[in-house]
Structure formats: structure tokens, C-alpha cells
Amino acid sequence: MVTEGLHTQPIKDIVAKVTLMGFNCIRLTYATFMWTRPDYGNKTVAQSLDSMNLTQAREGIARNNPQLLNLSLQDAYEAVVDAIGANGLMLVLDNHVSKPMWCCASEDGNGFFGDMFFDPKEWIEGLTQVASRFKGKPQVVAMSMRNELRGPRQNLPDWYTNMTEGAKAIHSTNPDVLVLVSGLNFDLDLSFLNTTPFGLTLDNKVVYEAHWYSFDFTQQWQTQPLNRVCGQCADEFQREAAFLITGDNAAPLILSEFGVDVRGVNQDDNRYFNCLLPTVADKDLDWALWTLQGSYYYREGKAGPEEVYSVLDYNWDKPRDPKYLERLTILQQTIQDPNSIALSYYVLVHPESGFCVNVEGQDNVHGSSCRERSKWSHSGDGSPIQLVGSELCLKAVGDGVPVALSTDCKSPWATWKLVSDSMLHIAAMDEQGNSLCLESTSSNYSSILTRSCACLNNETNCDPQSQWFRLVPSNLS
């Protein structure tokens, strides 16, 4: 129940690192029992750590954040919220579990209404307590009602009844915060809202949330054709959750958890992330990354374990992998503005590098940071990819040759279409009628080439990721 990392750095230094890495919000978890049961919430930070023999963590907090050590767990949580807000960051307060423990297992007693530790009345009491405690703190922009509902008790009648009551309780207590509504099956499934809407808008404060990891939807990232797997997973995410942001009754959606083993050793994670990134960028979803913390005080019976999904290293000193942060750049940028009257255009993104296809000078097409983005127009399959404000188009010159800019925008080698099940291969024809796809490889991500398209027949042992690109719509002026 003690916010992680306080033993490693002064909290102001941790928050400063979050800002420097380009993030603007923290999803701060809490347990219901901390707010509903005095024997939990009234313990001091020191007492909580001592009860688990976490001597090193206690000593670290005494060195780095001594002002927190003798505060109650509730007061320490609020102090963390205030420190985060003082540094200009927003917060989503996330009801992660009822009983404090590692999350999540299907039958851990924390999964669904009526489970051993998940009494609906106590849960609503906890939501109300938190909504009241943080009312008037503008940095608290949202409350997530519950993380990853799951387990054998799941059913729709109880979901609608309890989530409706929880949302009303938050909104009636603190009408300023957004209310995040999670679905079923570990936050994967909101599809039932397609036929039976939630029925509450709470003055436009309702936001839906979903999760997506490599082990969701499929576990076949290495055993099945990658173009097919990516296409199927993106379609599944659309059916289960992302459908909410389209249509006559569109509603906001946040991808409130995704993440990978940042060490780069998990091939399922690596492939999944190259599929997820363009999908999320294309929809311009808000999101929360799992996770910041490089280590824990305690997890599943072990003191001081490492978290390999973290953006920070074990000691919370520096980014675990700066290249990973670079790849997140396109997602950290505003891509679409619903209030903009500017004409829409596209940003051309290469997921494997996180770079955008940009133009420098008159004719230098290259991959570089998405902090600066060239604007492209494209009207669909069989049309040119044209540099906005010019008469220049991307042109395939030959196999293994850098792509060029040309005023010849009507020839087959300057007209482009999507050619794979992943919808991430962008191809033109060469003068011999062969399909050539955009490509950028790890040997030189700044170079944008065209090569013979790979893996279009869904060969199992074929890796197309260097040829994955996405035209991401944008309307920023």
C-alpha cells in the first residue's frame, strides 16, 4: 500500500524523471481496504513496512523521503498525490484491488463482485472515500472504478448494477473527475456495450478503459504468420473495445494498460508492440503504460524484486532503455484535435524504430524522430503519397534503393496500396511490375528503402516487421 520507489529517490526527483521522459500523467493504484478498514489505512508507512520485515525499504524511505515515514498510509498516499501535482502532472486514481496483494489471478478473491475480498458495498464505500478525499485537487483528473474484473463469478447483470452504482457514487461525491469504466475478462471485453449501452454519461465524465498485452487475444506471435496474427489481434481489439470511439454514439476510450519486457528478450512482446503501436497511434488513444517502477518493496513472497516491464531501471536512476522511450514518442504527441478545422493529412510511421518518414531539404527522405513530422496526403489504395504543400510524391526507384521524391505522381511506381493482412505493408510497383514495399532496417533506421515485399503469403518463418509502416491520420495545423 506504500507507493513504490520512495526508498530509492526523493519523490520530487522521481516525478521530475517522469516529466523528462515525456509523460504527463500517472496512474496511481490503491487498495480498497486502505480506505475502508482502519487496521489497514491507519498504519503508518513505517509500521506497514515493519510488519513485512522490509528493513531496507524502511531505511531507504528514511533517507530519501523521511517526511512520509510516520504518516498513515492514507496521509502518505495523499502526500504523494500532492507531490505529483506540484510538479505539473495529472493523476488517475486506480482502484486496483480490494485486499492488498499482487494482481491479478482469476481466483485471487479480488476479481469480481461477491468474491472473498470484493464486497460491492465496501467497494462503493472505498470509491466514495477516495472521491471525497481528493475533491478539489485539480491534478486528480480521473478515478478508475476497478482494475481487471475477472474470474468465474463474472456476469453482465452484476456488472451493470454495480458499475452503475459505483459511477454514480464517484460522480455525486466529486463531479469534477472523469469516471473510468472497465469491462470484463481482465479489461479486454467491452463488446457487450455494442448491444446494451452503459446508460450513464455523468455530464460527459464517463470514459471506458481497456488493456492489451502480448498474451491477450493470442499467444501465437512466434508460431503463426505475423501479418495474419497482427491483423487478427488489431481486429479483435476493435471488436472488443475500440468500436466505442466510432459511430453515432462514440465515447472516449483509454488504453489504461499495455507494456512489454523492456529488456527486449521476449519475442512475443517485441512483435506485439510493433503491432500495437500503429494501432493505438491510428486511433490517437490516450493510454497508460505498465509500468514506471523498476523494482518493488515486495512482490509474491520476495523482497526487492525487479520489474522488467519498467521504463526506469532497478534503482529508479535512469531509463532502462532510451530507445524504448523514443519509440513511444508518436504516442506521446497529440495527433488529432477534435476541435481543429485544419485539413487532415497523414504522418508516416515506422513502428519498429518509432521513427516517422520525414523530408529534409528538397529531396532527403529519411526516418527520424516523430517530434518533427512531415505531412503526407493519400486518398487510398492506388493513389500517390504526396508531400503536403508540394507537387512531390514518394516514388519506388528499385529493389534495395532509397525511396525518392518525384513530380511523377501518376506512374505505378508512385502509387501505393496496402498489400498484407496486417494492413502495414505499403507497396508500389517497379517498372517490371513487381511489388516493392517501404522498408527501414535496424542497420540504419534513418534510411527509407523499397524492397521486394516480404511475407505477403503468410509464410510462418518470415519476419515482415522492417516493412511495417502506418499512415496515421492527423489534423493539427
Q: Give 226-238 pLDDT, tens digit per residue.
A: 999 999 999 999 9
pTM of the predicted protein model = 0.97
In the predicted structure, residue 239 carries a pLDDT above the cut 80: yes
pLDDT at residue number 129: 98
Q: What is the spatial distance between Cα 393 and Cα 196, in angstroms, rounded to a whole number?
A: 46
DSSP 68: G
pLDDT at residue number 13: 98
In the predicted structure, residue 196 carries a pLDDT above the cut 80: yes
439-456 burial by CB neighbour count: b if 16+ within 10 A, else e?
Answer: bbeeeebeebbbbebbbb
CB 180 within 8 A of CB 174: no
**DSSP H/E element including 283:** helix 267-283
Q: Longest C-alpha distance within the chain, in Å?
A: 76
pLDDT at residue number 283: 97
The closest of 46, 106, 104, 92 to 72, measured between CA atoms, is: 46
The per-residue pLDDT for range 15-39, each reduced to its tens digit, is: 999 999 999 999 999 999 999 999 9
Query: What's the whole-number mean pLDDT along residues 372-380?
Result: 96
Report the chain's C-alpha Rg in angstroms. 24
pLDDT at residue number 433: 83
CB 330 within 8 A of CB 281: yes
Q: What is the spatial distance between Cα 178 and Cα 25, in angstroms, rounded to a whole number?
A: 14
Mention every residue, 6+ apart, whose C-beta is less than 8 A from residue 29. Answer: 94, 95, 96, 147
In the predicted structure, residue 271 carries a pLDDT above the cut 90: yes
Q: How far is CA 428 from the centre of its chain?
A: 32
The per-residue pLDDT for range 207-227, each reduced to its tens digit, is: 999 999 999 998 899 999 999
pLDDT at residue number 434: 85
pLDDT at residue number 22: 97
Q: What is the spatial distance between Cα 5 and Cα 295, in angstroms, rounded to a whole number?
A: 7
In the predicted structure, residue 7 carries a pLDDT above the cut 90: yes
Q: Would you say domain 345-474 falls under CATH 2.60.130.10?
A: no
User: Which of residues 11 and 343 earns the better pLDDT score?
Assistant: 11
- The residue to which cell 511490375 is assigned: 433
pLDDT at residue number 262: 98
pLDDT at residue number 432: 80
β-bridge pairing 140-144 and 417-418: unpaired
Query: What's the whole-number mean pLDDT along residues 148-156?
Result: 98
Q: What is the spatial distance between Cα 281 and Cα 157, in angstroms, rounded to a whole number?
A: 34
Q: What is the spatial distance between Cα 4 and Cα 14, in angstroms, rounded to a whole number?
A: 11
Query: What's the whole-number mean pLDDT along residues 155-183?
Result: 98
- Classified as helix, coil or strand, 223 is coil
Give the length of the chain. Answer: 477
pLDDT at residue number 187: 98
Query: What's the whole-number mean pLDDT along residues 286-295?
Result: 98
Q: List the beta strands (DSSP E) in 167-306.
A: 178-182, 206-211, 253-257, 286-287, 298-299, 302-303
Q: Indicate the average pLDDT of the chain.
A: 96
The closest of 340, 283, 334 to 472, measured between CA atoms, is: 283
First to last CA, the chain: 44
β-bridge pairing 364-368 and 302-303: unpaired
What residue spans define the domains of the chain? 11-331, 345-474
Record: fold of 11-331: TIM Barrel (3.20.20)
The per-residue pLDDT for range 409-445, each reduced to its tens digit, is: 999 999 999 999 999 999 999 878 889 999 999 888 9
Query: What's the whole-number mean pLDDT along residues 269-274?
Result: 98
pLDDT at residue number 399: 95
Q: What is the spatial distance between Cα 176 and Cα 131, in angstroms, rounded to a whole number?
A: 10
β-bridge pairing 426-429 and 404-406: unpaired
The closest of 312, 307, 232 to 272, measured between CA atoms, is: 232
Same fold flag, 11-331 and 345-474 = no
The per-residue pLDDT for range 58-70, each reduced to its tens digit, is: 999 999 999 999 9
In the predicted structure, residue 85 carries a pLDDT above the cut 80: yes
pLDDT band with cut points at 50, 70 and 90 for residue 321: very high
In the predicted structure, residue 331 carries a pLDDT above the cut 80: yes
pLDDT band with cut points at 50, 70 and 90 for residue 363: confident
The closest of 350, 333, 355 to 287, measured between CA atoms, is: 333
The closest of 376, 354, 358 to 367, measured between CA atoms, is: 358
Q: List the beta strands (DSSP E) in 323-444.
A: 345-350, 355-360, 364-368, 376-377, 386-387, 393-395, 401-402, 404-406, 417-418, 426-429, 435-439
Q: What is the spatial distance between Cα 74 and Cα 409, in angstroms, rounded to a whole number?
A: 63
In the predicted structure, residue 461 carries a pLDDT above the cut 80: yes
